[in-house]
Amino acid sequence: MLEILADRTYRHLFAAQVVALLGTGLATVALGLLAYDLAGDKAAMVLGAVLFIKMVAYVGIAPIAGAFAERVNRRVFLVALDLVRSGVALCLPFVTEIWQIYVLIFLLQSASAAFTPTFQATIPDVLPDEARYTRALSLSRLAYDLENIVSPTVAALLLAVMSYSSLFLGTVAGFVASALLVLSVLLPSPKPSAPRGVYDRTTRGIRIYLATPRLRGLLALNMAVAAAGAMVLVNSVVLVRGVLGLDASALAWTLFAFGAGSMIAALLLPRLLDRVPDRPVMLGGAALMVLTLLVLAGEIAMFGLVWPVLLGAWLFVGLGYSSVLTPSGRFLRRSAHAEDRPAIFAAQFALSHACWLVTYPLSGWLMTRFGAVVTLGILAALAGAGILAALRLWPPDDPATIEHTHDNLPLDHPHLQGRRRHSHPFVVDDEHPRWSSRL
């Protein structure tokens, strides 16, 4: 897996991702503690609202950014967005009111909504070989897991000697370091797509996404991920601080368990995906999350919450979480031409976070209104519905190359080369506007 770091451009981009996520992880812990200080037992509602605002920014901004990302210099674009994020993060230590959190989070996450899909769409151009790209996806998943492992660990150590508001300065440092690393390399720029209107560019990625069966199945699994993930990210602070009565460092170690499970899966997946198709791996990961939530609900109902059991549950949720998310970049890469990748990665970013837009506030409201057992049961049911939808939307037979007939193009069209019936790696585009063997 690590041999791909020999590529200097990818190595610098990976390092940029790592340092930015380390800083973001510190902010995650600090925001939870800030919300608890400002709202007490209603912290879950505040965090749910914060994460709802984050998702609104992601869903609204990402498609627009993806539509125009191909028309600007990628390196300049990414560096500028990192600097915007660092400036906003610098304001977070001075927050004294809940509404100030809401405003700053919206600005910060709007910049992230433009940055992340553009960054993700760059990696397939840097590593065009699928085997190398698969390894890069696992490394990327490991980098995201640092937000749940290394960052909480560092946060737990720092909280012993300083206030949690100082953790936000680590977020600033992470974004600045990311900008410098991106600035140190030249990024490939695929050929621009044909000129299109604003509406066409803005909706193109979502239209390609929703027309592709494997991606419709991925969207359903995104709902399963969002349901289980929201339970962890929104309600851990209430379970640890409110129900168990533990201190701030215990919250950090609880999030560490979730990240540890995700990291273990990311380390195992490259070899597993060489032997097993993506579909059973991802469906199995989603099923593991559902089963874990149900078992935890039963344990709390019968015996009450015990911290070691919570740590074990979050470890298994992390395993399932990563098993669904890590292979998803392979789908996106094979489901669009290079010039459409920024748009389709932005579509995945927006649509997947639309699922979180539902589950974040739902998770906080359920926890506040009904408690842990009901919340776990309802979120497990929602995740299970996502699995059933994926089974229906994503056919088991999903070849990359499809033999098809074109009735929608004249015989002298350059794509046909004199043959109406032919086969090639199939993606939805101008010549193939729908997923069908007859066009």
First-to-last CA distance in the chain? 40
For 259-287, what is each residue's pLDDT tens digit?
A: 889 888 888 888 888 788 888 999 999 99
User: Residue 76: CA atoms inside 13 Å, Cβ hemisphere, count?
Assistant: 6
Burial class (CB in 10 A: 0-12, 13-18, 19+), 418: exposed
For 326-358, what is each residue's pLDDT tens digit?
A: 888 777 878 877 777 777 877 887 888 889 888
Domains of the chain: 2-188+196-393 (1.20.1250.20)
pTM: 0.77
Backbone angles phi, psi at 424, to 5 degrees: -170, 170
CA separation (Å) from 302 to 112, 243, 287, 298, 427?
42, 15, 23, 6, 51
For 168-201, what is each residue's pLDDT tens digit?
A: 888 888 889 989 998 888 877 655 555 555 556 6
Question: DSSP letter at 15?
Answer: H
Residue-level pLDDT, tens digit, the chain, 439 residues: 567 788 888 888 888 888 887 777 777 777 777 777 776 666 667 776 777 787 788 777 777 776 666 667 778 888 888 898 888 888 888 877 777 878 888 888 888 888 877 787 788 778 777 677 777 777 777 776 666 567 666 777 777 777 777 778 888 888 899 899 988 888 776 555 555 555 566 677 788 888 888 899 999 999 999 999 999 988 888 898 888 888 877 887 888 888 889 888 888 888 888 788 888 999 999 999 999 999 999 999 998 889 999 999 999 999 999 999 888 877 787 887 777 777 787 788 788 888 988 898 899 889 988 989 999 999 999 999 999 999 999 888 877 777 777 777 776 677 667 677 777 777 777 676 777 766 5
Spatial contact of 123 and 7, defined as CB atoms under 8 Å apart: no
Helix 8-39, helix 43-69: angle, nearest 10:
150
Q: Which of 289, 278, 287 is nearest to 218 (CA)?
A: 278
Average pLDDT along the chain: 81
DSSP for 28-62?
HHHHHHHHHHHHGGGHHHHHHHHHHHHHHHHHHHH
